[in-house]
Structure 1
Amino acid sequence: MSTWTKPVVVGYEASPESQFALQWAVQVAQRRGVPLVVVHASGAEPSTAELARPGVLKMYHARAQQIADEGAQRARDLGAVEVTAVGLPGGAAAALVEQSANASLLVLGHRTRGVLTQAIMGSVALAVVTHAACPVAVVRSAPAPLPSIEHPIVVGIDSSEHSMRALDEAAFLAADTRSLLRIVTAWERPVQDAWSAYQNVREAQRKKSQDQPRREEDDTWSAYQRVREEIGGEREVVTYETLVAEISQQAASTVAEAAARVQARYPDLKIETVIREGSAAQSIVNAAAGASLIVVGARGRSAMQALLLGSVSRKVMNQAECAVYVIR
């Protein structure tokens, strides 16, 4: 039985992506048995000179409330769910982040048209995903069916802490919806030239142990550092094939440990594991064919993390056909 109590909040505007987000949010609120809050913010900042004029701020607020009311009515037409409309005169990101404090989930549409918008996530979506107090679901196309055995929840993992938090949340959601959980991990072969550079630099260091390390911006030194991290530190590597086998085996161990972690908490949950060679983001997206939801982890709230979010999470949000559920 579901234990949800807090409402689902959805950001609403006139874009197709926003309509998709509203539709998906209605379905989730219905399944969880919680109210839906439809939020629209005018985007006008109170500090601007225009808003200092008498009556202008009130006008923006009224317009925002009107759009929120329109979204709320559309939500009611989509399904039997308790709906509240909230119109605010300020910035959209700040309004949604504020609303997230009392929400179980925040849903928003994400536009990804053109090369630039695919490379750089929209400022509102980025700010909300980074700073929201609850999980955020990003919807950019017509929503897939809600989670079930036929339409699994997919989670991409590695061995990081934020990845494990995503795994735990995905497992909870799968158990709550009695759906299939698909755990995905990916691994990539080191560039063979980089591996050769690693061996060369290592040999050079042996011969010139008193020399200072190369500068970090030196391509050969950087390649050495990258491969050294991949093989777990300073040690002998017999062949390139040995290195590849070890990285592949590490991926297999990671996904096996993740499956065991989930099974210990949810013994009856159905689990699939997927190990793919290739980029993490593309592997997750490819493994999500027919899925209802992809769960990914974001790294945190620091300034650098807010700027970068995490390249894998960002790429998945820009490419996935189903909703992407971001947690920290």
Structure 2
Amino acid sequence: MTTQVLICDDSAMARKQMARILPSDWNVSVTFATNGVEGLEAIKAGQGEVVFLDLTMPVMDGYQVLKTVQELDLPALIIVVSGDIQQQAYQKVKALGAVDFIQKPVSPEAVQHILQEYGIYQRTDVISAFDTPEIKVNLRDACQEIANVAMGRAADLLATLLDIYVPLPIPAVNVLEVSELTMALKATENCRQVSALCQGFIGPGVAGEALLLFHDSSFDDMAKLMNICHPDSSQAEIEVMVDTGNILIGAFLNGISDQLNISFSQNHPVILGRHCTADELIHDNAEKWQRTLAMEINYHIKDHNIQCDLLLLFTEDSLPALNNKLSYLINIEGES
């Protein structure tokens, strides 16, 4: 009997990786969905007896899918596959009816263990004939999935240290000219003032700068969470930025390092500007950034007035090395 399997993830790289590590002797028919709406349609059409579900997706996220499946009592066994490894995320998906949770990047052993534990997968003599030649993965999509996993690692560390929950956005990845970089910095919305910290990093064939933009309205709440005395002082603001940067930048780079097997060295953090606009930051640093591959993540801390934007700006010379490293994870097409 053929099991109807649905892989629901907005990342082409994640969909392809997930399909490739399904047990080869599991008799399945595989359907793909790129967001929660497509996923629900597939489940309602009987194509999702077993669902591998991402959480962070456009249109409709994984939490909304789980809630709808639960409310409509749809016949689907859902296994969440996500880079959001915060304990609260795990507890929330279990409460919404998920069978279990698998951390990205996914290993074949983890998938097979869960399938066997819940009696979903039985060995057969049938070799599944499905393949995934239609799934094309370009450099941008692959980088976005790498950023997604690294983002989750950084958020989990921040959540653990501060005893909070950090909702995760969809990371934005683009190759930008310096003239376009201002548009990528969402901190400029409503002319908000920001303070910024940068930290250079370098590895084999890869170099760049991490840029943390801290919304000025966030300092008081963040200082209180960090138990910093005199949160309204100039020194306290610098301490908040440096400590937050150490947490987010360090964990994010470690997440990339683990996935691509690249060891990074980091410079000391430098305060780039205080109480200014992103336009002023770009103007003052245009010469050193030039054309860059930008990974942008907007962190908002739930129930607190805290927002910061983390950007990893890779030099243009880093693109060949990144492409080469990613090709070892999965066959990717040239950048489109």
Q: Normalised by the size of structure 1, how large is the TM-score?
A: 0.30
> Which structure carries more helix by proportion?
1
Larger Rg: 1
> Which structure carries more strand by proportion?
2
Q: Normalised by the size of structure 2, how large is the TM-score?
A: 0.29
